[in-house]
Amino acid sequence: MTIEFRVLGPLEVIDDDRVVVLSAAKPRALLAILLIGDQPISTDRLIADLWGARPPATALKTLQTYVSQLRKVLGEQAIVTRPAGYQVRLERDSLDVHRFERLLIEAREAEPAVAGDRLRKALALWRGPALVDFAFAPWAQNEMLRLEELRLGALQDRVEADLQIGRGAELIAELEALVAEYPLREGLRGQLMLALYRSGRQADALAAYRAARVALVEQLGIEPGPELRRLERAILDQDPQLDTRPLDPPVAATGRPSPRLAVRSTSFVGREKQLREIRELLGQADVRLLTLTGPAGTGKTRLAFEATNGNGRSHDTVLVELAPIVDPGLVAPTIASTLGLNETSRSLATEALVLHLRDRRALLVLDNFEQVLSAAPMLV
């Protein structure tokens, strides 16, 4: 029987319905790093993750001992040695993260009733915060944030599916609890407003909007976004469309619209020659990749924005912010997540991007790519 690995909660290994005991902290951490890496990981990186900036002189030998210990517990073929390092051998769906992401993909392509069922199954895989055993480990932070964002997106999508099949009244108590837990997520606020309105509680729906506005102004100093304001106006007008479908425009599978380049509040003066050259290059059919280089602080991001914003384009321009990541392996998952794709595991994100983009005209602006340059071959 295939060994089952679980990281959506405390780390668990299940072999033939038996929990495999992994008591030592460092081997447990090593296994978790290999599981979330989803690709061969070099010994240098494993040593840095396990011991930090000042590993002991015996770190490499100790790492090899840990790998040997894990093989004795999990089987000799469970961890394989690759030219690039070590990798866990995973069968289909043997890792709960992969099952979770597969169910999200299935939900995206299904009718609301079926989508809701798939999303409930996906969310049921969670036994607590992802990688909770390693909550303070630097190597776990990016994956914890990614998975939590996927979980919240799946939760909002499940609520959306239930709203679409007329379960608004059943959702009110759940949405009120979610809004209390995540007060700054406008998507949840809008879903609560819609559920209240469809339950005949127009006044309460408007009160929910006012509460959302107070929270956003007090905590972030911003007004609600255009979708939430538009929903308030539709509720005031008792728009008939609210009774049959969500007012918000179609969103990506994570429950969030794909970010587009926003309108800047300040004017852009000068650099006309550079703007003209960039736009001419972007207009050429054989130009698939264009790189802007220069010292930090010279305005490359703003120049890219001005060159791609407007200008009569017939395709979408999407900003992918890479500043938060330093691991080249996270570039493809970050682009996929920005585009709203649920498949954001390292091993499958590139394939998902190819399938998503091959029949579309789109311009991706990858900001701060210089810190993950080794991911460049993936772009071509």
Same structural domain, 373 and 324:
yes
- Measure the CA–CA gap between 341 and 334, rounded to whole angstroms: 10
Residue 266 lies in a domain: no
State mean pLDDT over 160-177. Answer: 94
Place of tokens 């009120």: 176
In the prediction, which pLDDT does 246 show? 46
Q: What is the CATH number of the domain that holds 83?
A: 1.10.10.10
Q: Return the minimum-mean-pLDDT range out of 260-264, 336-340, 348-352.
A: 260-264
Residue 114 lies in a domain: no
The tokens describing 170, both together, are: 């059943």
Which of 79, 129, 93, 69 shows the shortest CA–CA distance to 5? 93
Strands 12-15 and 4-6: antiparallel
In the prediction, which pLDDT does 222 show? 93
pLDDT-derived band at 151, boundaries 50, 70, 90: very high
Same structural domain, 237 and 133:
yes
Same structural domain, 172 and 62:
no
The last residue of a domain, from among 26, 60, 88? 88
Strand partners, 80: 87
Residue 138 lies in a domain: yes
The CA radius of gyration of the chain, in Å to the nearest whole number, is 24
Model confidence, pTM: 0.65
pLDDT-derived band at 364, boundaries 50, 70, 90: confident
The tokens describing 96, both together, are: 């709960």
Residue 252 lies in a domain: no
Same structural domain, 101 and 216:
yes
C-alpha distances in angstroms, 346 versus 5, 35, 343, 362? 17, 11, 9, 22
* Cβ atoms of 10 and 127 closer than 8 Å: yes
User: How deeply is 232 buried, as exposed, middle or buried, from its count of CB atoms within 10 A (0-12, 13-18, 19+)?
Assistant: buried
Residue 315 lies in a domain: yes
- pLDDT tens figures, 318-344: 888 776 676 777 788 888 877 877 655
Residue 122 lies in a domain: no
H or E element at residue 196: helix 186-198
State mean pLDDT over 297-313. Answer: 65
* Cβ atoms of 327 and 146 closer than 8 Å: no
In the prediction, which pLDDT does 250 show? 38
State mean pLDDT over 221-243. Answer: 92
Q: Return the minimum-mean-pLDDT range out of 26-40, 74-88, 133-147, 355-369.
A: 355-369
State mean pLDDT over 47-52. Answer: 96
Residue 285 has pLDDT above 50, yes or no: yes
Same structural domain, 211 and 72:
no
Same structural domain, 227 and 311:
no
Residue 216 lies in a domain: yes
User: Which residue range forms the structural domain that includes residue 365?
Assistant: 272-379
The tokens describing 74, both together, are: 């999990």
Residue 260 lies in a domain: no
Same structural domain, 286 and 326:
yes
Greater confidence, 2 or 56? 56
pLDDT-derived band at 206, boundaries 50, 70, 90: very high
State mean pLDDT over 38-48. Answer: 92
Place of tokens 């997106």: 153
Place of tokens 């972030």: 220
Residue 150 has pLDDT above 70, yes or no: yes
Residue 252 has pLDDT above 60, yes or no: no
Same structural domain, 100 and 229:
yes
- Measure the CA–CA gap between 197 and 235, rounded to whole angstroms: 7
- Measure the CA–CA gap between 306 and 300, rounded to whole angstroms: 10
State mean pLDDT over 84-93. Answer: 88
Same structural domain, 76 and 100:
no
Side chain identity, residue 227: E
* Cβ atoms of 27 and 149 closer than 8 Å: no
The DSSP call for residue 123 is H
Same structural domain, 70 and 101:
no
Greater confidence, 207 or 349? 207
> Three-class SS of residue 14?
strand
Which residues, 6 or more positions from 238, have their beta carbon under 8 angstroms from its beta carbon? 202
Residue 170 has pLDDT above 80, yes or no: yes
Q: Return the minimum-mean-pLDDT range out of 207-221, 246-260, 297-311.
A: 246-260
pLDDT-derived band at 1, boundaries 50, 70, 90: low
Q: What is the CATH number of the domain that holds 189?
A: 1.25.40.10
The last residue of a domain, from among 196, 224, 243? 243
- Measure the CA–CA gap between 242 and 235, rounded to whole angstroms: 8
Question: Phi/psi at 184 (nearest 5 deg)?
Answer: -100, 5
Domain count across the chain: 3
Same structural domain, 49 and 78:
yes
The tokens describing 321, both together, are: 């912010």
Same structural domain, 279 and 238:
no
